[in-house]
Amino acid sequence: MNKSKATLIGFSAVVLWALLALFTVASAPVPPFQLSALSFGIGGLVGVVWLFLSGGFGKLRRVPLSAYAFGTAGLFGYHFLYFTALRMAPAAEAGLISYLWPLFIVLFSGLMPGETLRRGHVAGAVVAFLGAALIVASGVGAVSGAVSGALAGYGVAFLAALTWAGYSLGSRWMKGVPTGAVAIFCLATALLSALAHLALETPAWPQGTMGWLAVLGLGLGPVGLAFYTWDIGVKRGDIQILGTASYAAPLLSTLALVGAGLASANLTLALAALLITGGAALAARAGRAREKA
């Protein structure tokens, strides 16, 4: 598989992730750990079927336990933080903050061996953070009697962005780990989520057919196929181009929420999205300039 094809496959994950916020909100009132257990269980079973049909189980015996631990921590940590943020703060604003991860991928990849952090990277980060600050200011003004909860939700969304960037860049380092291992990551994450749910949460099941379809949609798409295609992209594709293309995710995610009537389209949200996307693009351009130098 050539680099261009792998990059394109990786971008398909971004398209699927644009539906993550919509499906998560539609699955309410399922608590975060329970939702993680259900959706990751479905996503893991999808991978098991793929491994069975492709005969890929044998390769998994050579995967070190540290790789399984890293993958499970990345998937479990990010999605718990993401689901929690959507419960604590307005969905569109929390989703946009969590989608700072493409910018973090570009910035942190510049600190990897053989790379250089340029002024354009820093300038892009400042512009993107201005967008995030604008979202927070708007959210505080829109929330009555729950400002502290909303602010905490924004902080959780920020941690989610850092977690996913770390997982993605770490996966780049572990190119020898087959993509089939993602199925084990998913199943392990489902088990941990189920245990945490039993210990910390009160069960609440999806409401009606649409709620169950949302959970199924999560497991098949944003919390299923997307992880496998992203793994291919970050390991075999051009991570700078893939990171740049990922900046479409915040806008696609917000448009999905607005289209479903779960968020309102307004000038503040549009300006924040443009700042985050523009800052990310500026940082990516700095990275591409270094390659040409």
Q: Mean pLDDT across the stretch 226-238?
A: 91
Q: Phi and psi dihedrals of 144, rounded to 5?
A: -110, 125
pLDDT tens for 159-174 read 999 999 999 999 988 8
Residue 210 has pLDDT above 50, yes or no: yes
Is residue 249 very low, low, confident or very high in pLDDT (cuts 50, 70, 90)? confident
Domain encompassing residue 64: 3-292
| Residue 171: both structure tokens together | 């996966």
User: How many CB atoms are closer than 10 A to CB 149?
Assistant: 13
Q: Is 261 exposed, middle or buried (0-12, 13-18, 19+ CB in 10 A)?
A: exposed
Q: How far apart are CA 18 and CA 240, in angstroms?
A: 20
Residue 143 has pLDDT above 80, yes or no: no
Q: Report the number of distinct structural domains present in the chain.
A: 1
Q: Hey, which of 114-118, 134-138, 167-171 has the most confident mean pLDDT?
A: 167-171
Q: Mutual orientation of helices 65-88 and 181-200 as an angle, nearest 10°? A: 50
Q: Phi and psi dihedrals of 89, rounded to 5?
A: -135, 165
